[in-house]
Amino acid sequence: MGLRPARCYRKIHRGFTRQSTRRPRKSYIKGVPRSKIAQFQFGNPKAYDTVLYLVSKRTLQLRHNSIEAARMQISRILEKYLVKEGFFWKIRVYPHQVLRENPLATGAGADRFQTGMRQSFGKPIATAAVVREGQKIAEIRVNKQHVPAAKKAFKQAIYKMFPCSVVVEDYKGQE
């Protein structure tokens, strides 16, 4: 079975937490899946004069596989146009929210073992980062002459996620 569409998990709402008084063990999510994000920062963190931010235009949840796809795209473009020492990028969000799914069986004999929506707490399938409107998702630090390559990397990464904007600022060494 493949991934469900991202629109199934975009809306932010407090996840249902089952509270069982008879069996308290049933109230906990067992086994949170590992995040697919391989690296959260890459490159040479030396002094640069410009920083670009990827800023969210909406409030929503961003799945970890979407963040990883954007990260791979950013790395590929920056390494193609710049030397490894010519940039530094960092992902500024972390997927903490556990996404659960109650898969319904289909096919012959599915009615014999399926319980439907009875006790439908769901199994953990992925994690997501809660992103607010105007929040900085990622940053790239480069020198002024490399700003077009960094913008191109962010524009390609936006295709992997959702509507964002690119903000360019002077870097003052703040963290």
The domain segmentation of the chain, as residue ranges, is: 35-102+121-175
Determine the pLDDT at residue 28: 76
**By mean pLDDT, which of 3-17, 53-67, 103-117 is the weakest?**
103-117
pLDDT at 13 over 80: no
DSSP element (H, E) containing 123: strand 123-131
| pLDDT 10s digits, 132-147 | 999 999 999 999 999 9
Residues 6+ apart with CB under 8 A from 133: 56, 57, 58, 59
Distance CA 21, CA 23 (A): 6
Q: What is the mean pLDDT of residues 169-175?
A: 73
- The Cα–Cα gap between 69 and 50 comes to 24
Q: Which has more pLDDT, 152 or 25?
A: 152
Cβ atoms of 8 and 101 within 8 Å: the answer is no
pLDDT of residue 124: 84
**Is 175 in contact with 141 (CB distance < 8 Å)?**
no
* Structure confidence by residue, pLDDT tens digits, 72-122: 999 999 989 988 778 999 999 999 888 887 777 676 666 666 666 776 677
Q: What predicted TM-score, i.e. pTM, was given to this entire model? A: 0.81
At the second CATH level, the architecture of 35-102+121-175 is: Alpha-Beta Complex (3.90)
Q: For residue 167, which of 79, 157, 147 has the smallest C-alpha distance?
A: 147
**Of 61, 49, 15, residue with least CA distance to 140:** 49
